[in-house]
């Protein structure tokens, strides 16, 4: 057993975890953060993506102990109270969600991508989301949502 | 021309659960956690278009924490019953003599139908007692004031209602009953999910129904009620009433029979699970239906017990009704093969005296037992045992009937799966008879 300390969605947490425990299992089963989805469990689909110190990782390929001393952001930490994050809004408005199973992972990766490249082109978005599989939408609407989310965030920044 | 203004057409509408999905609050199946939940894993063939030659589950079963490994083998019991009843229906519809299944049995020898009548008479008496006792128990629970009335009176009222409704069916009541049965199914299945199932024991129970140790009598008897051997014969009588006449209707039989079988399987399984997995480990001895009701109350609150009692009452009522009518028709059919019977009309139903006598035997005579102290447990064991003695005859007879060209007709003889199913039924029938004997001794 390992005693680890970390911040998840802005809250400090301490847990005793097994050496082989996965970050995805810790989030879902120990902390009840079921918004993080596990589809393939093998790092192929990106559904379980969370931000570990602001970098997107597949939570099913990261050990819980690796989160020690780090900050985790999951889909549950995206909205500010009732106010949705602009990326979430864009996904809803652009019809980028169908069954929704890949959505949390996509939104997390999008967040990291837009931090690095605030206004990506369509091609850059497709490249940035390469680690994600969506079986419903055909990706076009997801790409549009990410592009428009980037523009919206930039517009807000200019206003402030 | 001005564009018309629409409220909905031409407007973009975010779909209803998009917000939940974008915030990760939508609950998917894999997000559901229940107490003592088990995890299942489907293992698929590694070869596309492969043929399964054998499945070796021993290594998987040895793994720590593995409760059960279930393969197609575990569905055998219900499949057997399906094949069995289907074959009998096939005989009824296809034989060129236009005779009933029981007339077919007579071809085995005059002793066969007589043996069957004796078996039916015993079985019906036991099942009648069992069901009326159950009905009275349920009534007293639902309306506590009734507890002051002697059980015999309540039993009498129940019997009267059963007979009355059998002769004069009420469409409205049938619908109400169906709704109650549906409710019971729902709470049973819910109970099954909420309880902690020991899949191994349940799988074993579904394949080889037997009388387990401890207090699982009720669960077993429910299985007996729906699965008893002579009752399987009733179906071929029902199809006549549906107006199905010949070979061309056999296709419909497949579906007509398949659906309730699946339904029964779920129902039986859930009773098993609730009884085996929840009641026993929690120290609840099952001696009457009251104890199972307690289990449901513990699982879903006080309403659980009420729903259970209502559902059980309806189930008992309809089973008694169906079995009495079915058996009565069978016995009267057998007797008619030996001598013609004069028709009598009672309440608009024209039948013969044998028919009415059997109905009375099943519905009224059992009331006598209410005076005695014969317990639930003894009755159930007797009932199951009686069943078990008829089973070999019925299955061996069926196997012969569907294979003799002269009997079932050219081109109608059983194919491989029908023969395999019946063959296994014969073996199981013999096996159960031996077990039943051992239980008796």
Residues B129-153: tens digit of each pLDDT: 777 777 777 777 777 777 777 777 7
Residues B25-68: tens digit of each pLDDT: 999 988 988 777 888 888 888 888 888 777 888 888 888 888 77
Predicted local confidence at residue B2, as pLDDT: 66
User: Closest approach of chain B CAs to the CA of A95, in angstroms?
Assistant: 7
| Banded pLDDT at A142 (limits 50, 70, 90) | very high
Chain B hits for A78, CB-CB cut-off 8 Å, are: 23
Instruction: Indicate the SS3 state at residue B412.
Output: coil
Q: Rounded CA gap, B288 and B107, in Å?
A: 43
Mean predicted confidence (pLDDT) in B265-293? 59
Of B277 and B211, the one with more pLDDT: B277
Residues B371-412: tens digit of each pLDDT: 665 555 566 556 656 666 666 777 788 888 888 887 877 777
| Banded pLDDT at A148 (limits 50, 70, 90) | very high
Q: Check if the interface score ipTM surpasses 0.85.
A: yes
Q: Does the pLDDT at position B229 exceed 70?
A: no
Judge: A37–B30 Cβ closer than 8 Å, yes or no. yes
Question: What is the 3-class SS of chain A, one letter each residue?
Answer: CEEEEEEECCEEEEEEECCCCEHHHHHHHHCCCCCCCCCCCCCCCCCCEEEECCEEEECCCCEHHHHCCCEEECHHHCCECCECCHHHHHHHHCCCCCCCCCHHHHHHHHHHHHHHCCCCCHHHHHHHCCCCCCCCCCCHHHHHHHHHHHHHHHHHHHHC
Residue B59 domain-assigned?
A: no
Residue B320 domain-assigned?
A: yes
Residue A4 has phi, psi (to 5 degrees) of -125, 150
Residue B30 domain-assigned?
A: no
Predicted local confidence at residue A145, as pLDDT: 97
Question: What is the DSSP code string of B220-234?
Answer: HHHHHHHH-TTHHHH
Last residue of a domain, one of A50, A77, A104: A77
Of B263 and B402, the one with more pLDDT: B402
User: Closest approach of chain A CAs to the CA of B304, in angstroms?
Assistant: 29
| Banded pLDDT at B291 (limits 50, 70, 90) | low
Predicted local confidence at residue B224, as pLDDT: 40
Answer whether B85's CB lies under 8 Å from B232's CB. yes
Chains A and B form CB pairs within 8 A to the count of 53
The single residue listed with the structure tokens 């009997």 is B407
Answer whether B95's CB lies under 8 Å from B86's CB. no
B128-132, B190-194, B288-292, B420-424: least confidently modelled range: B288-292
- Which of B12, B14, B24 is closest, CB to CB, to A35? B24
Same domain, A106 and A144: yes
Domain limits for position A31: 2-77
Chain B hits for A29, CB-CB cut-off 8 Å, are: 33
Predicted local confidence at residue A3, as pLDDT: 95
Same domain, A123 and A72: no
Mean predicted confidence (pLDDT) in A61-74? 97
Chain B nearest-CA residue for A34: B31
Judge: B24–A75 Cβ closer than 8 Å, yes or no. yes
Same domain, A72 and A93: no
Judge: B14–A92 Cβ closer than 8 Å, yes or no. yes
| Averaged pLDDT score across all residues of chain B | 71
Q: Rounded CA gap, A85 and A90, in Å?
A: 9
Q: Does the pLDDT at position B128 exceed 50?
A: yes
Exposed / middle / buried, residue B159 (Cβ in 10 Å: 0-12, 13-18, 19+):
buried
Of B244 and A29, the one with more pLDDT: A29
Same domain, A94 and A121: yes
Judge: A88–B31 Cβ closer than 8 Å, yes or no. no
Chain A hits for B23, CB-CB cut-off 8 Å, are: 35, 75-76, 78-79, 84, 88
Provide the domain count of chain B.
Answer: 1
Of B359 and A115, the one with more pLDDT: A115
CATH (domain of B217): 1.20.1740
Give the residue from B159, B139, B114 showing the smallest Cα distance to B324. B159
Same domain, A64 and A114: no
- Which of B17, B22, B27 is closest, CB to CB, to A88? B22
Predicted local confidence at residue B289, as pLDDT: 58
Predicted local confidence at residue B220, as pLDDT: 39
Instruction: Indicate the SS3 state at residue B389.
Output: helix
Question: What is the DSSP code string of B166-222?
Answer: HHS--HHHHHHHHHHHHHHHHHHHHHHHHS---HHHHHHHHHS----SSSTHHHHHH
Last residue of a domain, one of A21, A50, A77: A77
Whole-angstrom CA distances from B439 to A21, B262, B321, B380, B426 are: 51, 30, 29, 12, 20
Answer whether B362's CB lies under 8 Å from B125's CB. yes
- Which of B22, B27, B30 is closest, CB to CB, to A97? B22
Predicted local confidence at residue A99, as pLDDT: 95
Predicted local confidence at residue A31, as pLDDT: 94
Chain A nearest-CA residue for B21: A100
A1-5, A33-37, B319-323: least confidently modelled range: B319-323
Predicted local confidence at residue B209, as pLDDT: 42
Predicted local confidence at residue B84, as pLDDT: 76
Of B367 and A46, the one with more pLDDT: A46
Interface membership of A35 toward B (CB under 8 Å): yes
Chain A hits for B12, CB-CB cut-off 8 Å, are: 93, 95
Q: Does the pLDDT at position A125 exceed 90?
A: yes
CATH (domain of A71): 3.10.20.30
Predicted local confidence at residue A115, as pLDDT: 95
Q: Rounded CA gap, B88 and B309, in Å?
A: 34
Predicted local confidence at residue B144, as pLDDT: 76
Judge: A37–B28 Cβ closer than 8 Å, yes or no. yes
Residue B27 domain-assigned?
A: no
Q: Rounded CA gap, A148 and B103, in Å?
A: 79
Cα A151 from chain centroid (whole Å): 19
Residue B61 domain-assigned?
A: no
Same domain, A71 and A94: no
Predicted local confidence at residue B11, as pLDDT: 82
Of A45 and B112, the one with more pLDDT: A45
Sheet hosting strand A71-73, strand order edge to edge: A11-17, A2-8, A71-73, A49-52, A55-58
Last residue of a domain, one of A48, A77, A106: A77
Residues B298-354: tens digit of each pLDDT: 767 777 777 777 777 777 777 777 777 778 887 888 788 777 888 887 777 778 888
Judge: A35–B25 Cβ closer than 8 Å, yes or no. yes
Same domain, A118 and A152: yes
Judge: B21–A107 Cβ closer than 8 Å, yes or no. no
| % of chain B exceeding 90 in pLDDT | 3
Provide the domain count of chain A.
Answer: 2
- Which of B12, B14, B31 is closest, CB to CB, to A34? B31
Domain limits for position B195: 74-404+411-440
Answer whether B245's CB lies under 8 Å from B237's CB. no
User: Closest approach of chain A CAs to the CA of B56, in angstroms?
Assistant: 26
Same domain, A94 and A65: no
| Averaged pLDDT score across all residues of chain A | 95
Q: Does the pLDDT at position A20 exceed 70?
A: yes
Interface membership of A26 toward B (CB under 8 Å): no
Residues B169-213: tens digit of each pLDDT: 666 776 777 777 677 667 766 766 665 555 555 555 444 444 333
Q: For residue A156, how many C-alpha atoms fall within 13 Å in the half-sphere facing its CB?
A: 10
Residue B344 has phi, psi (to 5 degrees) of -125, 145
């Amino acid at each position: 057993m390992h005693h680890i300390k970390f911040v998840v969605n802005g809250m400090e947490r301490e847990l005793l975890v097994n050496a082989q425990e996965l970050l995805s299992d810790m989030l879902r089963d120990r902390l009840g953060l079921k918004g993080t989805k596990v589809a393939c469990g093998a790092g192929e689909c990106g559904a379980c993506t969370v931000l570990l110190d602001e970098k997107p990782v597949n939570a099913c390929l990261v050990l819980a102990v690796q989160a020690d001393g780090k900050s985790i952001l999951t889909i549950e930490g995206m909205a500010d109270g009732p106010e949705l994050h602009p990326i979430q809004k864009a996904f809803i408005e652009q019809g980028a969600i169908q069954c929704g199973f890949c959505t949390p992972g996509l939104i997390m990766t999008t967040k990291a991508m837009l931090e690095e490249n605030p206004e990506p082109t369509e091609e850059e978005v497709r490249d940035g989301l390469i680690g994600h599989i969506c079986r419903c939408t055909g990706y076009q609407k997801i790409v549009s949502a990410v592009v428009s989310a980037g523009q919206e965030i930039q517009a807000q920044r200019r206003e402030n | 021309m001005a564009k018309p203004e629409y409220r909905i057409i031409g407007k973009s509408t975010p779909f209803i659960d998009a917000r939940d999905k974008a915030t990760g609050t939508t609950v998917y199946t894999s997000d559901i956690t229940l107490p003592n939940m088990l995890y299942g894993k489907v293992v698929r063939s590694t070869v596309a278009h492969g043929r399964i030659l054998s499945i070796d589950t021993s290594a998987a079963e040895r793994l720590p924490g593995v409760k059960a490994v279930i393969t197609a083998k575990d569905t055998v019991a219900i499949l057997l019953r399906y094949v069995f009843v289907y074959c009998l229906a096939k005989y009824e519809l296809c034989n060129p003599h236009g005779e009933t299944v029981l007339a077919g049995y007579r071809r085995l020898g005059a002793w066969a139908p007589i043996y069957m009548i004796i078996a039916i008479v015993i079985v019906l008496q036991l099942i009648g007692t069992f069901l009326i006792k159950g009905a009275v128990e349920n009534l007293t629970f639902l309306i506590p004031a009734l507890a002051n009335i002697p059980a015999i009176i309540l039993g009498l009222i129940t019997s009267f209602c059963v007979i009355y409704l059998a002769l004069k069916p009420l469409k409205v009541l049938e619908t109400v009953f169906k709704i109650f049965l549906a409710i019971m199914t729902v709470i049973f299945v819910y109970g099954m999910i909420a309880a902690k199932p020991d899949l191994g024991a349940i799988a074993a129970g579904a394949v080889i129904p037997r009388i387990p140790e401890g207090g699982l009598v009720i669960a077993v008897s429910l299985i007996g009620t729906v699965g008893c051997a002579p009752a399987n014969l009733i179906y071929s009588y029902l199809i006549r009433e549906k107006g199905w006449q010949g070979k061309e209707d056999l296709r419909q039989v497949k579906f007509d029979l398949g659906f309730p079988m699946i339904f029964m399987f779920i129902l039986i399984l859930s009773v098993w699970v609730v009884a085996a997995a929840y009641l026993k480990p929690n120290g609840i001895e099952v001696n009457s239906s009251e104890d199972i009701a307690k289990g449901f109350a513990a699982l879903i609150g006080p309403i659980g017990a009420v729903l259970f009692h209502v559902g059980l009452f309806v189930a008992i009522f309809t089973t008694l009704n169906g079995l009495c009518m079915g058996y009565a028709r069978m016995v009267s059919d057998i007797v008619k093969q030996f001598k013609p019977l004069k028709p009598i009309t009672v309440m608009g139903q024209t039948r013969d005296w044998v028919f009415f006598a059997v109905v009375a035997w099943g519905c009224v005579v059992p009331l006598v037992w209410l005076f005695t102290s014969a317990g639930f447990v003894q009755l159930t064991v007797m009932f199951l045992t009686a069943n078990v003695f008829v089973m070999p005859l019925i299955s061996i007879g069926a196997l012969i009937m569907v294979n003799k060209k002269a009997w079932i007709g050219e081109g109608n003889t059983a194919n491989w799966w029908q023969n395999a199913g019946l063959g296994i039924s014969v073996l199981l029938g013999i096996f159960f008879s031996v077990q039943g004997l051992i239980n008796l001794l």
